[in-house]
A and B are shown apart, each in its own frame.
Chain A
Amino acid sequence: MSEHDDEREAERLYRQLPREEPPAALDAKIRAEARRAVASHPAPLVAPAGRSNWYFPVAAAAVIVLAVAVTWQVEREQGDEGAPPASPPAAVLQKEQKLPEQVPQKKAPPEALQYAPLAKRAEKPVAEAKNQAPAAEPKPRAPAEAAREQALSEAAKNETLAGAIGDQAATISGARSPSREDALRERENRMRQERPGSADAVAPSAARPAPAPAPASAPPSIDLQTGAIQAQGRANYADEPPEKWLERIAQLRQQGRHDEADRALAEFRKRYPDYKIPAAMLEKVEKK
């Protein structure tokens, strides 16, 4: 008998064996499981044709419009802020603002004018206030007050600008924190409270030698104000070409203001790490 005959015979006998089948209950269980698995299947990513055909194109268009609008808005706000691209790193400005001991104008206001030519615009209202205040002695206090308010608002603006440099992301997104605005408002209120409220108080107030410059007990708002102005001044200072900057440092050295000259020189080196200072200038700017 051939191999094929063996196979056929075996097959024939095998077909005669009982044809066992799974129990109906098991069938039902498995079918139910199969249906359950399909029923719990999450919604398909792409909607079946004919149903909500408009959904994906509209969603895509909405995303594109939103992205363009946000980009445009951010660019516009960046332009409004006018953050100088060549300004020193924000960390430096923040550090200067945070360390009041490095802001010497508190004790000696003229020192704050060391960067005067560069910070003229920012400090002008303060200087005006200084000049006007003694002159206001015989006059009613209105002009001095006006000058002070102007200086205050200018300082607030400058502070916002300095804050914007330090906290660029928040400023760019236009999400100025309410706490910053609250702080400004509170500071302004405090300043107003300090001002004498009646005409009787005008004379003593005006009799002070220098009401506009910050006295030793001046509230922190004044410090912040001048700090902001100085930060602004330094930002402008950093905008200058390196030669001018070095000249300023040399001037500071000549005036014996070595600490400031050192700081300015360090800042300069940070800003222009590859700049080679001419030997003649190096003698002038470096500490001997």
Chain B
Amino acid sequence: MEAPDEELMLAYGNGDAGAFDTLYARHRGALFRYVLRGVKARAIAEELYQEIWILVIEARKRYAPSARFTTWLYTIAHNRLVDHWRRKELALVPADDEQQPASAAADPARQLEGREALARFAKALEALPHQQREAFLLHEEAGLTALEIAAVTNSEAEAVKSRLRYAYAKLKAATDV
């Protein structure tokens, strides 16, 4: 039976470098995709991805398994991305954007023909409002529940559920065109 993430992180905090290797191997792909699809530029994604892991390494002594390791890891990642967006002065999607599920989805769907659903899906994903995309990625890549996503993004659970619902609806609409 594989050691849980929390145990590995504690072991790493106590100086076991091998535990970090295992932990890293488990999360590297999902975390990288979460970052890459969040910033949409590979070079920046790599830079942020490395910074996130450095933050994890630096925080190894402070880690307390009060929640899942994944939640903790993606909280660090989310905060780092928010910093990045703020620095880039990228406007975060306003909350009322969630009340317009059709508009964002319609554009990518209309722009693409229906032969390549996957390509449309990718475009739709890219076109999603930032908060919806993030909720979707945290759910799909990190496997977090709505409650965990709420904890990571410091949002209300209901708001997260709503974001997820809209995100799936838009993606579905984009592929159905």
Contacts and interface: CB of A to CB of B under 8 A. Distances in A.
Interface of A: 1, 3, 6-7, 9-11, 13-14, 16-17, 19-23, 26-27, 29-31, 33-35, 37-39, 41
Contacts of B140: 11, 14
Given A20-B33, A21-B28, A37-B60, A10 B118 contact: no
B171 A10 contact: yes
From B32, B60, B125, residue with most partner A Cβ within 10 Å: B32
A24 to B, nearest CB: 11
Interface stretch (B50-58, B91-99, B149-157): B50-58
Contacts of A37: 57-58, 60
Given A19-B29, A21-B28, A34-B20, 5 more contacts: A13-B117, A17-B118, A21-B29, A26-B46, A31-B21
Interface stretch (B9-17, B72-80, B82-90): B9-17
A152 to B, nearest CB: 68
- Summarize B's interface: helix, strand, loop or mixed: helix
Given A21-B29, A21-B32, A38-B15, A30 B50 contact: yes
A109 B28 CA distance: 97
Interface string B35-72: 01000000000100110011001101000000000000
Contacts, number: 83
21 contacts: A3-B165, A10-B167, A14-B125, A14-B140, A20-B32, A21-B29, A21-B32, A22-B29, A22-B46, A23-B46, A29-B50, A30-B53, A30-B57, A34-B12, A34-B24, A34-B57, A35-B17, A37-B57, A38-B16, A38-B20, A39-B17
Contact of B57 (A3, A9, A19, A33): A33
Given A14-B121, A34-B17, A38-B12, A22 B168 contact: no
Interface string B115-144: 001100110010000000000100010000
B54 A33 contact: yes
Nearest to B121: A13
Nearest to A14: B140
B118 A13 contact: yes
B169 to A, nearest CB: 6
A37 B59 CA distance: 11
A30 B171 contact: no
A16 B116 CA distance: 12
B168 A10 contact: yes
Contacts of A30: 24, 50, 53-54, 57
A16 B118 contact: yes
